[in-house]
Amino acid sequence: MNSSIIIPDISPYELPRICADLPVIGGRYKTRPEDFRVDELPHTTWSGTGDYLYLQVEKRKMGTPALLQHLQSVLQVPFRSIRIAGRKDQRAVTSQWISVRDGEISKVKKVEEKSLRPGQSIKILDTDRHHSPMTFGVHGGNRFHIIIRKLSSSPQVWQKAQMIAEALKNTGIPNYFGEQRLRGDYAALGKEILLDVYEGVPATQARFLMSSYQAQLFNRCLVYRIEQGYWNTVLEGDWLRELTVEQTPRMVQCTQLHLERWQQEYDELAYLITGPMFGKSVSLARGLPGCWEQALLDQEEIALGEFYNKEFGFPRGSRRSIRLPVIDLALTKDSDDNSLHLDFTLPPGGYATIVLREFGVTHATTT
């Protein structure tokens, strides 16, 4: 174990702000579902033909699992026939494309007609067909429209918000996993499942919990890098990922010879530094970032070869960008109700809550 490198544990509620030198604005989000709008963007155009029925679905105040169960029941297809590119918030209004193998267009109207719980709604915005199913994680990003309420009436709030917005346009955000993935003891249970200490968990839940453990380790690596002052600095041995919506983006490992070139690519947001989503098949960085990654594995007393559950065959491991651009970020002030409207797009995998924490905005249910 490398005792000279200690990667601290950290709560998902205490992740450091990149704009820590700027004062926050406060306020609350999600005071009502319509205050948090998410529209998933497709990564391509559909062919119009094929075995897969594509539905653009808008849901209100409904989680993704409940939506999929509803579709399965109405369309009368096996659950495995329904594919999505990403999960969406429950206390929100969201839209996304969903593929259904051998789905019948004649049954689609019933999706909106079947009764739901009070406050919930489902709308079919569009339909299409394609020759292949949706792939989880492969989409064109998410467009967010968020209304922040319960702000101070001070005119300084607007000035503070503008300063934070300008900073985020230049720096982007740390690509932390949000508290949605890391609530309670999710990560600890995930580690126990991974090591076959905790058993009897359904496959879907087990995979989610193991991914929570991966997410916690990724966050710890990222926080440590930020605290060491290298968040926006490409280092020898870093793995860089091309910023693209393609399913298999190009990955390159930085050498000392081409360090200046890759720093320029990073500054221009063409390529992004990555951190480890530890798994049996992941490629660790070399040099200094590789030392950090290995030190964390040593602290956890787990080897890469142990990141594999015999029953579920997961997780394989990957590399995740440590920084994301906040695209087309715009602020609008509504003087009538003293609210702030925040619009922006994040690439796949980004959490809007990480943008909101830079403004110091908290969930409406937070006490």
Q: Mean pLDDT over residues 231-235, rounded?
A: 95
Task: Dump the DSSP string for 257-323.
Answer: GGHHHHHHHHHTTSEEEEEEE--TTPPPP-HHHHHHHHHHHHHHT--GGG---TTT-----EEEESE
With cut-offs at 50, 70 and 90, classify the pLDDT of residue 203: confident
Residue 23 carries which DSSP code? Answer: -
Q: What does the domain layout of the chain look like in residue ranges? A: 1-39+144-367, 42-130
Mean model confidence pLDDT for the chain: 92
Residue 64 carries which DSSP code? Answer: H
* pLDDT given at position 354: 95
Is the peptide bond between 315 and the residue preceding it cis, with omega within 30 degrees of 0? yes
Q: Is 367's pLDDT higher than 50? A: no
> Is 89 an active-site residue?
yes
Q: Which of 89, 102, 126, 267 is catalytic?
A: 89
pLDDT in tens, 294-326: 999 999 999 998 888 878 877 789 999 999 999
Q: Given this structure, which CATH class describes domain 1-39+144-367?
A: alpha beta
Alpha carbon distance 232, 267 (integer Å):
8
- pLDDT above 90 covers a percentage of the chain that reads 79
State which fold the 42-130 domain adopts: Alpha-Beta Plaits (3.30.70)
* Contact of 15 with 174, CB cutoff 8 Å: yes
